[in-house]
């Protein structure tokens, strides 16, 4: 997902981005009560799921249609700057009884 795609979905600003894959690219962008994920080439706008908990001025659980995404932050900081911190985090994708988990990085800041 590009920054422009996240911006068009309204998921930029103070919040978090989950980065993953071999290239560490943006997979999920979150800001306030808005999130965006690219799935099969389409950007999906997500909303906080029922029972979502606060996660750096945004939320840890997201939903759109039958897709549910959960961020599991370890709190282990791997990089820190003046206005951001990056931790190791897992992302869980759940849909139609199928669950997949991936390890990556959660970059939060303003």
pLDDT score at 85: 86
Reported pTM? 0.85
pLDDT score at 90: 93
Ranges of residues in the chain with a pLDDT under 70 are none
Split into its structural domains, the chain has a count of 1
pLDDT score at 36: 94
pLDDT score at 72: 92
pLDDT score at 27: 84
pLDDT score at 74: 87
Domain boundaries, position 21: 3-109
Instruction: Write b or e for each residue in 21-45: b if 16 or more Cβ atoms lie within 10 A of its Cβ, otherwise e.
Output: eeeeebbbbbbeebbbbbeeeebbe
């Amino acid at each position: 997902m590009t920054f422009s795609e996240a911006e068009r979905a309204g998921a930029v600003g103070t919040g978090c981005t989950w980065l993953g894959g071999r290239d560490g690219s943006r997979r999920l962008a979150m800001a306030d009560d808005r999130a965006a994920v690219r799935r099969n080439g389409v950007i999906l706008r997500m909303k906080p799921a029922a029972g979502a908990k606060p996660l750096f001025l945004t939320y840890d659980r997201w939903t759109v249609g039958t897709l549910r995404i959960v961020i599991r932050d370890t709190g282990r900081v791997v990089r820190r700057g003046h206005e951001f911190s990056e931790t190791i985090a897992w992302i869980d994708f759940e849909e139609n009884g199928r669950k997949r988990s991936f390890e990556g990085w959660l970059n939060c800041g303003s």
